[in-house]
Amino acid sequence: MAKYTKPDLMNTVWASSASESSIAEPDSDGSFSGVGIVVDVEDGWTQVKPPYQVENWLQNKHSQFSAYINQLGIPEWDSETEYQTNKSYVQGSDNKLYKCIQTHTNRNPASSNTSYWEVFEGSRAATTEARGTVELATLAEAYAGTGNKVMTASIFQAAQATEDDYGIVQYSTQDQVNTGTATRNSVTPATLSGRTATTTRTGLVSLATLTESYAGNSTKVLTPSIFLQTQATEDSYGVVQYSTQDQVNTGTATRNSVTPATLSGRTATEDRTGVISVASNAETSSGVSDVKAITPAKLRLGVSFLAGQNGYVALPTWMGGFIIQWGVSNCNGNDVTNVSYNTSFPNTVYSLVTSDTFSTSLTDGQNVYSIATYLRSNSTFDCVMNASNNDANLFSWIAIGR
């Protein structure tokens, strides 16, 4: 069968301009009292010739419905029609198109009668080239990222990025970037640049130049190359290389550092300066070591003295332990006088020398007395003076011993 051609004047309703008296609408009982006949609308015309008014009504109704359908395409819902499952389609009062899913009468689709109606979305699926119907994706399907379903705004907001799934993110504030605790926010280049490293947080840093390295810039870091070039000098802090033992011993390297070990290895000799150990008392006394030093205190080890007219000097044992004593004493003429040393000799007295002493100037022909001594002990000696009187006479003495 060939396709019907849509006739002209489909939007022109039969008898739309006729007067009210020219159109007779049937009563509720099916009669046309207005024109004086009774006919059953459902049975139609039998033997009665319809008046022109009735025919006008029929033609008006049919043509009006034809124009209505031609205009809307799908009729609006009414409460009298029995709608058929999967065959009836209507327009709801909410301007949506509905498909009947269960045969019924008087179930308004706009009143949540979802057991009888469903919103009809057509059978053409939307593509990137053409409009069509779509199906809403679940959150799991949104995360899966497959298929041709679309997301609602709530599913879109819920599909946030995680460590395992792609999703939406919210940009972090600068405080959030600096704190570093937000787990569901993203960082922009601007806020990333704003997170600089400090002594209390990680962050971005700039590389220092050699000049900045020597200046001690507190916000930049060194590359290995700049680090090695920033060598210590007399004017600037920097890196150093440890000296070898030969370099320490030679003493000519100007850009190397000395460790305690290599410092200890540079010992003093007759040919070079260096470190040296201090001799102990025993080593000082023995006088054998040729590699240790004697301190001023060690130089006086065992040295004692008494300065004055009567005094002594006691040398240390490493110098023989000799004691030299001296004094001026009185000796009675012709009588034995006992004189005490200024300090006792620990071991022995080697020699005692005496001399007559005068308290006035000498004159020609001055009488000089001889003095005899006797080493009584290591702490005293006896003397006797050959004098013409028995008065006490001065004499000087020097004793040497150990």
Neighbours of 308 (CB within 10 A): 10
Over the stretch 329-366, which tens digit does the pLDDT of each residue have? 988 777 788 999 999 999 999 999 988 876 666 666 56
- Our CA dihedral for 292, 293, 298, 299, rounded to 10 degrees, sits at 130
For domain 304-401, say whether CATH 2.60.40.3940 is its number. yes
**What local confidence, expressed as pLDDT, does residue 394 receive?**
83
Q: Which residues neighbour 366 within 8 Å (Cβ) at sequence distance 6 or greater?
A: 358
DSSP 261: H
Query: Which band of pLDDT confidence, cut at 50, 70 and 90, is reported for residue 290?
Result: confident
Q: Which segment of 36-50, 57-71, 188-202, 367-381 scores lowest on mean pLDDT?
A: 36-50
Question: How much is the pLDDT for 114?
Answer: 93
Domain residues of the chain, as ranges?
20-72, 82-119, 304-401
Q: How far apart are CA 16 and CA 21, in angstroms?
A: 13
Residue whose entry in the numeric block shows the structure tokens 């009947």: 100
3-state SS assignment for residue 64: helix
Average pLDDT over residues 390-402: 84
Query: What number of helices (H) and strands (E) belong to the chain?
Result: 11, 23
196-207: average pLDDT: 92
Helix residue ranges per DSSP H, 52-198: 52-72, 139-144, 153-158, 174-179, 189-194
pLDDT at 88 over 60: yes
Local structure of 281: helix, strand or coil: helix
pLDDT above 90 as % of the chain: 45
Q: Over the chain, what is the mean pLDDT?
A: 85
Provide the CB-side half-sphere exposure for 322 (13 A, CA): 7
Contact 292, 355 (CB under 8 A): no
| 3-state helix/strand/coil string of 175-210 | HHHHHCCCCCEECCHHHHHHCECCCCCCCECEECCH
Look up residue 90 and give its two tokens. 């209507």
| CA atoms of 38 and 29, how far apart (whole Å) | 9
Residue whose entry in the numeric block shows the structure tokens 């006739």: 7
